[in-house]
Homo-oligomer: A and B are copies of this chain.
Amino acid sequence: MSDITDAAKRLLLGRPVSSEFVNQAVLPKRIALPVFSSDALSSVAYAPDEILLTLALAGTSALIWSPWIGAVVLLVLLTVVASYRQNVYAYPNGGGDYEVTTENLGKKAGLSVASALLVDYVLTVAVSISSASQYAASAISALRGHETILAIGIIIVLTVINLRGVREAGRAFAIPVYLFMAAIGTLAMAGFFQYLSGTLGTAHSADFTLVPQEAFDQGLTGLGGALLIARAFASGSAALTGVEAISNGVPSFKKPKSKNAATTLLLLGLISTFMFATILLLAQATGVKFVEDPATQLTLNGAPVDQGYIQHPVIAQLAEVVFSGTPWLVFIVSAVTGIILMFAANTAFNGFPILGSILARDGYLPRQMHNRGDRLAFSNGIMTLAAGAVVLVWIFDAQVTRLIQLYIVGVFVSFTLSQLGMVKHWTGKLRKATDPIQRRRMRRSRVVNAAGFVMTGVVLVVVLITKFTHGAWITLLVMAVLYIVMGGIRKHYDSVAEELDLGEDIAGARALPSRVHAIVLLSQIHKPAMRAVSYARATRPSTLEALTVAVDAEDTVRLRKRWEALEIPVPLRVLNSPYREITRPVLSYVRSIRRQSPRDLVVVYIPEYVVGHWWEQLLHNQSAARLKSRLLFTPGVVVSSVPWQLSSAENQGVETTYFEQSGQPRAIEDRRRR
């Protein structure tokens, strides 16, 4: 890496951060709540909209169902909260769904959950940021029509921030999350007050009539109606995403960690419930309409709605009604909602790389996913997540409604398997426990987790049935591909580890080659070549020879004469190359030496220029690079690069202090000098 790249990286990403900071942050509940809840809370920005939007397909009368669907969603939400409270107690060191499932249900189930979670993190970013850009466009009219590019821009900004590493996470997270709670709380209170006092207005969209789809001419009847209600419920279940975040973060809580985490989780559940219910009820009271395509689905006095009609998200519509006298409050609500959605996406930017790192540690992903980048951030994971989200946003034009069809599948796969794992966990514990009080507590936990398993399992089935053709198949396909790829990577690492294992053959490992046959490759006689010869001679091999390939007859004659004139005590060997190739003759010569004396070691010294700029690299070393990569395939050969630093390469040094743990360089074999 050149100096400039390095400097640019520093400027963009900040100074590197030392390991000691990694596990330092311990959060009190008042900070932990906002840190871990932005994902879960932010889903009220789009989940109610999706319920209304789905029901709208069956006409105005169908909207009556929305509070009931909401109630079922909340029932599932509270069940899941209760379930994960058990996880928090059972795994005080942080029981992510992947670990819980792997430990209790085995590697395959764990890998399924991992695939589901990876896909879901990407979707969290795509959905949250798409929704955020819709709120931004609803608040700032200049952004309308540019939602996709705006969303991609936000993802890029988040990526850079996360590559820098978020150190001030706690405090910076707390403020906007509490602002969001305050905004929705104020909206709720003002709204209910107006409702009770009879002063609550109606939404702008309340005057519209919904045009039902052909299938729903008769309203919500028959199997079609039931399926639509189920689909609305499935979409509304997006409200549950992010609930599991706290169970991953138990180690970050103040002691008693599990208790504090469980309390925070309960709090999160209650706040989420309150917000979700408020929005659905106010939406019904004010007659809010929300549809996928206003131009065809809305009519005003029998005529299609005006082309210029801009449909705002539900929260924005509610704010317009409730705060109709104070436009800046309306703006604040949209702005705060947009910001909380970005923080929700940011949760994925934390979660995805950590999961990736754990999977890399377990051998399911390439090792480099396990390396932390400079700023304590898992750079590779962050880049992968961002790339995935950008692709999704691009393909689906940043349309939340289309993206939400892909979402949720993954969440509920991991919910369901994790809860099943917990049931098994308690069963296993019960087998060993004898203390009746403990046993009673375990039994109760098992019942809670079993309820969670059944509930989330049913939702999963509903989601699969109602959304498969709408886009869930894409998620399942990607999950399957990830599952297969990760399994393949693990298999590869396993077979390599087995192949490389020392085993019992310690003597074999200690055996030394008997002789060293050194070869210096020459193409010209210049300083780099002479340095390579000197260095090779300094290592005092058993045999040493210089080797050149005769590509051009005249050049070779000149080289041979020059060599003889220098009177260096090393023989020069010339290989003919009828095909003007360099690599093949050298390779086959090296192999012939190995065949003659297989127990010897062949060391090939290659003089190499080191240049300072990439374009200079294009002008040099092309043959050397090819030759090196081929020689590596030959057993019993060491490829030694003897670099010659050209003046342009001189400013490329890096200086950092290193920290030594032990030992001093010790001369183990220094007979020659004596």
Contacts and interface: CB of A to CB of B under 8 A. Distances in A.
Contact of A632 (B541, B643, B658): B643
Interface string A1-40: 0000000000000001111100000000000000000000
Given A578-B659, A665-B593, A566 B639 contact: no
A652 B630 CA distance: 9
Contacts of A608: 632
Contact of A639 (B573, B641, B655): B641
A588 B665 contact: no
A661 B539 contact: no
Nearest to A515: B673
A618 interface: yes
Contacts of A543: 665-670
Contacts of A556: 661
A203 B128 CA distance: 69
Contacts of A643: 631-635, 637-639
Interface string A173-193: 000000000000000000000
B512 A528 contact: no
A663 B535 contact: no
A622 B369 CA distance: 11
A673 B622 contact: no
Given A527-B502, A538-B516, A633 B660 contact: no
Given A538-B512, A570-B668, A580 B19 contact: yes
B618 A663 contact: no
A668 B19 CA distance: 51
A580 to B, nearest CB: 5
A367 B668 contact: no
Interface string A584-613: 111111011100000001010100111000
A660 B534 contact: no
Contact of A506 (B566, B573, B576, B620): B566
A657 interface: yes
B637 A640 contact: no
A341 B307 CA distance: 56
A633 B609 contact: no
Interface in A345-391: 366-368, 371-372, 374
Given A579-B374, A619-B493, A633-B645, A511 B534 contact: yes
A571 to B, nearest CB: 5
A366 B511 contact: no
A429 interface: no
Nearest to A618: B366
A64 interface: no
A668 B593 CA distance: 16
A558 to B, nearest CB: 14
Contacts of A527: 499-502, 509
B655 A588 contact: yes
Contacts of A656: 584-585, 587-588
A592 to B, nearest CB: 8
Contacts of A432: none
Nearest to A659: B576
A492 interface: yes
A575 B500 contact: no
A257 interface: no
A658 B585 contact: yes
Interface in A522-546: 525-528, 530, 534-535, 537-545
Given A502-B525, A570-B668, A632-B641, A584 B658 contact: yes
11 contacts: A493-B619, A509-B530, A545-B665, A571-B666, A573-B660, A576-B659, A576-B660, A588-B657, A605-B638, A633-B652, A639-B640
Interface of A: 16-20, 366-368, 371-372, 374, 489, 492-493, 496-497, 499-502, 506, 509-517, 525-528, 530, 534-535, 537-545, 550, 556, 566, 568-581, 584-589, 591-593, 601, 603, 605, 608-610, 616, 618-620, 622-623, 628, 630-635, 637-647, 649, 652-663, 665-670, 672-673
6 nearest A-B pairs in the assembled complex, by CB-CB distance: A576-B659, A585-B658, A509-B530, A574-B661, A500-B526, A632-B643
